[in-house]
A = this chain, B = another copy of it.
Amino acid sequence: MKPKKEKIIDTAIALFADNGFHNTSISQIANKAGVSKGLMYNYFESKEDLLKYIFDLGAAKLLENFDPNRDGVLTKEEFIFYIEDIFYQMQKDRNYWMLFFNIVTQPAITQIVADRMMEMVGPMMKELTDYFRNKGCEDPEAEARYFVAVMDGVGMHYLLDQENYPIRSVIKKIIKEFV
């Protein structure tokens, strides 16, 4: 990819994450990325378009490690790996994940990426529900929804205080409870 395009994207992720989408201006992004304001519009049709692009980047990465062999079935090992991997990714790409939670908690912004999000969460929820059903859970759908809520909650808190958050200990609790 064009290096300047990449610079724009990286800078946008960082600023969106720290300041929020609507509180980040194109000027800020251009300044910090060291390019002209106009250049952004050579690569993206609008600020919203940039957000969509960024969201897709991360969504792809997220799915990559969920059911990696793509057989539609989540094994115990795959599940554990996925849990570990998500928190690893959060630590590595903190900005992207802050932005992600940003988006999810703001209906007005969620709408911008609504269709993409559906494509992503739909299949995931299904596989999770199947997993919990096979495991013998009484109400597998409720368990799946509880699980993703826990993941989101922990993820959010982890991101907000990576240094002090007892993430190892919490991951162990999650695996013990859900896997």
* Chain A count of residues within 8 A CB distance of the other chain: 39
What residue in chain B is nearest A161 (Cβ atoms)?
A: B145
**CA of A82 to CA of B80, assembled, Å:** 32
Nearest-Cβ distance from residue A163 to partner chain B, whole angstroms: 13
What residue in chain B is nearest A99 (Cβ atoms)?
A: B105
Residues of B within 8 A of A151 (CB): 153
**CA of A122 to CA of B123, assembled, Å:** 39
- Select which of B139, B150, B152, B170 is within 8 A of A166 by beta carbon: B139
Residues of B within 8 A of A155 (CB): 153
Known: A142-B166, A142-B170. A102 touches B98 (CB 8 A): no
Tell whether, in the assembled complex, residue B23 and residue A169 are in contact, meaning their CB atoms are under 8 Å apart: no
**CA of A146 to CA of B166, assembled, Å:** 9
- Select which of B104, B153, B158, B160 is within 8 A of A150 by beta carbon: B153
- Select which of B22, B104, B166 is within 8 A of A22 by beta carbon: B22
Top 8 A-B pairs, shortest CB-CB distance: A153-B153, A142-B166, A22-B22, A149-B153, A142-B169, A149-B157, A19-B108, A149-B154
Having A105-B105, A141-B166, A146-B166, one finds 17 other A-B pairs with CB under 8 Å, namely A18-B107, A20-B20, A23-B106, A23-B109, A104-B160, A139-B169, A143-B173, A145-B157, A145-B170, A146-B154, A149-B150, A149-B156, A149-B158, A149-B170, A152-B153, A153-B153, A153-B154
